[in-house]
Structure 1
């Protein structure tokens, strides 16, 4: 009985770390897709913000993580701007971000 309680406590203690790593991996995947579309790495930022702050971030939501409690927000930066910035699309979110088919 004590072993199962200790195991449950250990899982609960590690769960937030695993969830954050998940957001970081989603952010890295989206970043790579944007770079592959021709946007220089210095030409944008991706920020992980809580859902209730996504609208105030001033950028475009391109993904989500942590059971849809966090959003990944794309913002262009002044550094590294080029013609590729104007033509590359940050639409690189997961398939869950797409509108449902009816």
Structure 2
């Protein structure tokens, strides 16, 4: 009985860590969405930065990860005049409230 309590306690403590998406998996998901929207693979970069550095990163925040402690920033390569991000490039959590 005591052993099962320890196992249950361990699982409950680990659950939030397992539920958090890794930055690389979120970044890869966003990367694929942008490519599917017609942006060439070499036409943009995605960078993972700490929350407090997102404004200085020089791009648009399109996602977040690690329990919202990191932001994923989109930067368009090439033409400075075309800096728009496809509307459905980010995660559902990053969509504006309607």
TM-score (norm 1): 0.67
Q: Give, in angstroms, the shift of residue 89 of structure 1.
A: 3.2
Question: How many Å separate the matches in 1 of 2:86 and 2:56?
Answer: 18
Unaligned runs of 5+ in 1: none
Tell me the equivalent position of 1:30. Answer: 30
TM-score (norm 2): 0.70
1:90 maps to 2:86: yes
Question: How many Å separate the matches in 2 of 1:87 and 1:69?
Answer: 25
Tell me the equivalent position of 2:68. Answer: 68
Unaligned runs of 5+ in 2: none
Question: How many Å separate the matches in 2 of 1:55 and 1:48?
Answer: 12
Superposed CA deviations along residues 38-82 of structure 1, whole A, max 9, x for unmatched, are: 11111100000000000000000011111111000000112xx6x
Q: Considering only aligned residues, what root-mean-square deviation do their CA atoms show, in Å?
A: 2.8
